[in-house]
Amino acid sequence: MPSKIYLIYFLIYKNLQLKYKHSLIGFVWSFLHPLFYLLVFNFVFSKAFSNIPHYSLFIISTLIFWIYFSGSCNQLSQTFIKNAHLIKSLNVRKLLYPVSEQGTELVSFLAGFLLFIFLMFYLGMPVNWNLLYILPIIVLFSIFTFSIGLILGALNVFFRDVGILWNTLNPALFYLSPIAYSLDIIPHQYLFYFKLNPLYHFFYIIRNVLYEGNAPSLIHCVYSLIITAVCFTIAMLIYRRTRNGFISSL
C-alpha cells in the first residue's frame, strides 16, 4: 500500500513541522533537552553516587530513553483529540494517527541519539559490536511505548483526566525507575516492587549495551519481550473496543 506510506510520511512531516514551527533551532532541542537534564543530575547526584564509575554515562544511557518514553506517551495521549477534525471528516484508519505520532517521536529521538552516541563515547562508552544490540532494543522499546501511549490516547478521548493523571504520575514514575541511581541502593525488602516496573527491565538491557558494553542479559530481554507483547495486546483490545465511540466523544 504505497498510499498508506505516503500518508504516514506526510503525517510525520506535518507533526514535525508543527512541533518545531516557531522555534529557532528546531531539531537541536531533541539533543539539548536531555543534555540539560544530564547537567542537573550530574550537579545534584554525582557526589551522592560517587561509587558509580562514569556516572554521567550511567545517567545519560537511560535518560534519553526515558525522555523518548515520556514524550511519546504525552503526545500519544493527545493524538485522537488533536486530530478530531480529521477523524470526524475523513474515513481513514484511526490507528494511523498514533502510528504517525510515534513515528514523529522516533525520528526526533533518533536524531538526538546520533549526537548522544558521540557524547557517550566521550564519556567513556565502550565501543564494540555489542553496541548494535541497541537497534532491536529501540524497536522493542518503541512498540512498548506505542502500546502505553495508545492505551492513554484511547481512554483520554472519553475521560480527559487520563492525560492529566498521566502527567501527574510522570515524575513519580521517573524517580521510581532506576535512571539516576542503581538498584543496589534499594533496601532488599523493596526490591521486588521496583522490579515490577516494566521500565526497569528495558533500562537494564539498555545499560548492558550502552554502559557496560556487554550483550543484553537474556532473562531481561525475555521479560521485556513479554511485557511488550502483553501491553500491545491490551492496547489493541482497548483501541478496538473504543474506536467506534470516538466520534461521539470528540
Partner 1 sequence: MKQLAIELNDVSVSYLHNKRGIYSVKDFLLKGGLFSPFENKHVLHNINLKVYKGESLGVLGRNGEGKSTLLRTIVGIIIPDSGTCKVSIPISPLLALGAGLELELTGLENIKIYMALSGKYQKHTIKDLIAQVSDFSELTMDQLKMPVKMYSSGMLARLAFSTVMTTQPELLMIDEVLAVGDKGFQEKCKKRIHEVKEAGATVIFVSHNPEEVMEVCERGICLKEGTIICDGSSEEAGKEYTKLFM
Q: Is 20 among the residues that bind partner 1 (CB under 8 A)?
A: no
Q: Is 240 among the residues that bind partner 1 (CB under 8 A)?
A: no
> Is residue 211 a contact partner of residue 57, using CB atoms and an 8 Å limit?
yes
Nearer to partner 1, 3 or 51 (CB): 3
- How far apart CA 69 and CA 67 sit, in angstroms, is 5
Nearer to partner 1, 95 or 230 (CB): 95
Please give the full DSSP string across 149-179, using - where no structure is assigned.
Answer: HHHHHHHHHH-THHHHHHHHHHHHHHHHSSS
Q: Is the Cα dihedral 5, 7, 13, 15 positive or negative? A: negative
Burial class (CB in 10 A: 0-12, 13-18, 19+), 168: exposed
Q: How many CB atoms lie within 10 A of CB 210?
A: 25
Give the contact letters, 138-177, x = binds to partner 1 (CB under 8 A), - = no.
---------------------xxx---x------------
Q: Is 24 among the residues that bind partner 1 (CB under 8 A)?
A: no
Q: Using CB under 8 A, which of the segments 12-20, 106-114, 184-192, 198-206 binds partner 1?
A: 12-20
Q: Using CB under 8 A, which of the segments 11-19, 63-71, 145-153, 211-219 binds partner 1?
A: 11-19
Residues interacting with partner 1, by CB under 8 A?
3, 6-7, 9-11, 13-14, 17-18, 21, 85-92, 159-161, 165, 244-245, 247-249
